[in-house]
Amino acid sequence: MGDEAAEYYDRMLVDADWSEAFCLTFVRGLDESGLISAFGGDPAKIMSPVDLAQVLDDFRYGEEPATLLVATVGDWRVGIEVNGCQGCRPEVLRRAARAGDGTALSVFRNVSGRSEFTYVTGDRIQAVIDQIRPERRKGVDPEILDALMAGLPFAHADDIIPEAAGFALAERVTGVRLPFDLLEQDLPGVILTPVPDDLVPEGGRGLAALDHPFVRRMLGAPTRENLPAMLAFRSRLIAEDADLLGEPAVQELLSALDEDRQAPPEVRSRLRELHERLAGDLQAMNAVQDLAAAAFETGDPAERFGTTYAIRDSDRSLQAVVLRRCARHALPAAAPVTPPAPGPVTAPPRTAATSSAYAVVAKEFAAWEPEKQRSVTRWLARRAFEVAGLDKLDWARPALEALDRGEPLPFPDRRAVFRLISAAALVTATTGLPLDQLENRLTEQQRADLRERIDRAPMAVITIFNTANPDPARALEDTFTTALETFDGRTEDLLAELRAEFC
């Protein structure tokens, strides 16, 4: 016998259009305005669902601003983000908890399969639980909810959607049940200005690395005047950690940053040579990339604090993170959100891993003629659909055939495509059965294959949308990085296939 609450939320998520990516945050002891303010919204600018939808319709898919809907369930306020993530951030959850009675929690899932339950009390993140792999936890007291988790079907147990188990856990904590038609209610909403990151991550509080005199000085004065010093210190951390201090080009770059002057133009070409010489060592290449970004202005000061390189030493890593946050605090606030002109779907923010992979092939891709770039782009999208197991589905075949012919994709409503890759839709398309009728009709391997398809499907769909970019080079870049996500980061496998086909 499964858990009744988890089964209830499983049915709710199967039926919901918003269930592929969401964050629901529960807070008690505050009013609607208090919750909106905790999330970075202006209570005076709250809108009806119709008005908010009209504003969002003017944005390109994937570029909508962060938004929040507010519901009241019992004594709890519930902040609802469709395809949003503010409520899983420590900065936001702690603010919400302080504005209420000291407790806040959230259930989160994104299109890439990240799935977390986060619980805050006493101004600290007590536990963050991976709902797919519940043994993976972090926080000051990761086992604090063990008694309440007992018997809940996390990790796809009993074929229950993992986030349904998360909502069942939220119900045990709060004592309230979400209404089945939650998102069909007339809920007020607001556009958010994301809350800035804390200058010091919660896990770094009190650590000796932050006692460094320079770091303490920057924390006390995170101002624009101190940006050059932050940039120079952070760049030296990267060069030292990556064992690049002995490279003449790096030495000259660091000297220029120390003196707050532009590095000589020839340093750029020498860094490019160093980057090519380090081919095969992705971490070292990433370090050179970040150092080059720091040395040469592009018009956007934030780009000079690149984060492609993953610093290995824990003390240096914390110092670099804090300095980057101080720099972001010092930079001018983003301009008010205004709807851009309609356009094609774009890729999600690139991760460090995909940026590293693209850096390996960027020069090769750029040398190709536009016609070849388009051919490779179409091939990548098809391979993404094949790896995700979508290519044989009835709605996908016409799209792939149109792609092969270079014709527009046959999706009049692109948002509707994501409903075709919901867990329920993929189960039915694959097995011919509704999700709630599977019971024990699949083998463990079949279940595992189906779960993998559900996890990979969103990135495959974004991949095919990326082919529509009018710039062949940009279409190839974005399509490659999202196709790589469907390969689960197996860069060499994807490159081997690509080169066998086109080189």
* Alpha carbon distance 452, 427 (integer Å): 12
- With beta carbons less than 8 A apart as the criterion, state whether 324 and 235 touch: no
- Place 354 in a pLDDT band, splitting at 50, 70 and 90: very low
pLDDT, tens digit (0-9, with 9 covering 90-100), for 170-198: 999 999 999 999 988 999 999 999 898 88
Report the side by side order of strands in the sheet with 76-82: 137-138, 124-130, 115-121, 103-109, 22-28, 76-82, 67-73, 189-191
* Alpha carbon distance 257, 232 (integer Å): 5
Tokens of 189: 């909403």
pLDDT at 455 over 90: no
pLDDT at 416: 63
Sorted by where each begins, the domain ranges of the chain are: 4-191, 202-330, 352-502
* Alpha carbon distance 90, 426 (integer Å): 33
pLDDT at 347: 43
Strand 22-28 to strand 67-73: parallel, antiparallel, or no bridges (unpaired)?
Answer: unpaired
CA distances from 242 to 278, 309, 458 (A): 12, 9, 35
Burial (CB count <10 Å: 0-12, 13-18, 19+), residue 210:
middle
Q: Which amino acid is at 33?
A: S
pLDDT, tens digit (0-9, with 9 covering 90-100), for 104-138: 999 999 876 789 999 999 889 999 999 988 999 99
- Place 235 in a pLDDT band, splitting at 50, 70 and 90: very high
Please provide the size of the chain in residues. 503
| Higher local confidence (pLDDT), 349 or 482 | 482
